[in-house]
Amino acid sequence: LVLKSKINALYVWDVWNEEVIKISVNQMAYVVFYTQDTWLMPGQYIVVMRNGTHVNQVERTARRLRAKAAKRGYLIEIQQTYSGAFHGFLVKMSSDVLHMAVKLPHVEYIEEDSSIFAQSIPWNLQRILQNKHETGKYSPPNDGAKVGVYLLDTSVQVTHREIEDRVMVTDFNSVPEEDGVRVHRQASQCDSHGTHIAGVVSGRDSGVARGASVNSVRVLNCQGKGTVSGALAGLEYIQSSLMSQAIRPVILLLPFVGGFSRTLNAACRKMVESGAVLVAAAGNYNDDACLYSPASEPEVITVGAVNFADQPLSTGTTGTNAGRCVDVFAPGDDIISASSDCSTCFTTKSGTSQAAAHVAGIAAVLLNLNPNSSSAELLQQLLHHSVKQAINPEYLPLNHRLPTPNMVVALPDPTSTLTGQKDLLCRSVWSERSAAKGLATATARCRHSEEMLSCSSFSQNGARAGERVEERDGQKECVAVSGNGGQGVFAVARCCTGHKAQCQMLESPQRGADAECPPDHQLTGCSSSSSSGDASDSERPLHGIRRACPAKRDVTSYASCCHTSSLECRLKEHDSTGLSEQVEVSCEDSWTLTGCQGLSHGSVVRGAFALGNTCVVHTSGGDIGAAAIATCCRHRLSHKPSDH
């Protein structure tokens, strides 16, 4: 590193011995090197001429250098000459020619060419930051260094400066032959997708979690194509690797989709049960993500893509998949990351693969904070920190607007008090729509490690017979029932983690009777259903000394009751005004919405569902209206008995 130069001496910092040394140069030229060696462009040099050198002397020096190099068997290439701000030329040559170049007349010094970088944060990294006041600086809460990521993708160019020493290439390789007989298998082509994705996860400048280690497992060929059997073999390989050398916590990033595969979904589910977190791309087919694998597997965190304006990604005839199988959205348009064209090249790519890589990076940051979080708890944390209602629903397909979660991921706010596994966090899980006939059913389920704390239903025309809670194979199911003349109904389960409670769904002993919680239990939600197929209107829950879900005549009620000394719950209600067809009520910041009901004042209630921490009730309109009733719960701030 050059510190200072004079006519007869050059002062240089000796990096190895950590001291300044003086070199006599006697007006000879010298070569400038940098400590940022990963930014250097090997074999490309800027030759700078002394002040007063004429243009013809620059050209003469370049010709002389070419002749001297040729005599020694070296070929050089003059890329450009400079005669404005300074005099000199840019040359591509071997470092072995440097000693000849520095001795040429009129040469003052030679500088190795290097990369320069814009110092504003790329839009996607700026988008996931919540401490927006620190413009121009990407500063996540941590770098994810405790987390290992397995990337199932194409091969990766591990020598790229963005990911050098951060990616380990495993010995696994299960890919089909490329289509066609004239496929060129250049490294730049075969490494393109994997290199870019690895850069988004942990790249030095483009990465989300810059300390996370990435293990490359090749399941896609040079055309980005693989097989279900190859992906299954990759998962088998990872499972075996984790058993022999445990990496915890661990994330599996699956930036690919195929047609629906029961086997691939089951294998992904097994990996989650073994303790891994799986993050998958939703797919780029402008379609329902539930039609594809592994995106359709409920235990996998499935990611859709948005652009700079928080609109669902759309590129020509294709665009991000959406629907109830998508868990969250992330930046996926014009994402800057490592290019496999050279070790210092960058490029932009778009798609749900890039979006999934952002979520994998944020997941690494969250797991670095709470290493023991399960996949379900991690998803709840992701949703808690996400930006809510960021997407204009009009940009989503009409039939997917309600079931698609309107959330764009973000890193934790530095002021967040979320601690991880001990927090009561809930999300809504939608079913597919039932058949359009009376008493047809639709079913929504929580993840295995989540607890269902309430069940509600929604119908576009209001023809619904309510909802009920059933248990199958030890897991609760929210079952919505379509009413007579219905157009189909959705079931909406409220799924929660961090409650640390013993919960049960209790059914009223007979139609028209209350479903009542036992003493010392908290009521977290109410449901009701009608066996006749007629509309099932709710009654206001009881939340005093007696906690119960009342029912009208010929209606069965269901109460979700949880027993724990640390939980407290209360009701919050809001009436509609005027001709509004929608009424909302939200829980305060320190409370979590566990149950959502609509109470009719005469209007037809089309359904109720939780949207973030807000209870939303749709009605048929008119001037009669309805009320939205939210059940809000939290861990008790003190263990004193509650009056609620």
The residues annotated as belonging to the active site are 153, 193, 353
CA dist., res. 197 & res. 203, Å (int): 9
CA dist., res. 238 & res. 215, Å (int): 10
- Strands (E) in 260-312, as ranges, are 277-281, 292-293, 301-306
First vs last Cα of the chain: how many Å apart? 70
Calculate helix-pair angle for 352-369, 192-202, nearest 10 degrees: 30
Closest CA to 360 of 314, 327, 401: 327
- Strands (E) in 356-419, as ranges, are 387-388, 407-408
Q: Cα-flanking dihedrals φ and ψ of residue 19, to 5°? A: -155, 160
CA dist., res. 239 & res. 152, Å (int): 13
Calculate helix-pair angle for 352-369, 375-385, nearest 10 degrees: 100
Tokens of 462: 């209001």
**Which residues have C-beta within 8 Å of that of residue 48, sequence separation ≥ 6?**
86, 87, 88, 107, 108, 109, 110, 111
Query: Do 561 and 591 form a contact (C-beta atoms < 8 A)?
Result: no
55: left (phi over 0), alpha (psi -120 to 50) or beta: alpha
Query: Do 224 and 195 form a contact (C-beta atoms < 8 A)?
Result: no
Query: Do 168 and 216 form a contact (C-beta atoms < 8 A)?
Result: yes
Number of H helices, E strands in the chain: 9, 41
In DSSP terms, 491 is beta-bridged to 457
**Which residues have C-beta within 8 Å of that of residue 563, sequence separation ≥ 6?**
501, 502, 503, 518, 520, 521, 522
Cα atoms found within 13 Å of the Cα of residue 92, Cβ hemisphere only: 5
Amino acid type, 458: F
CA dist., res. 298 & res. 320, Å (int): 18
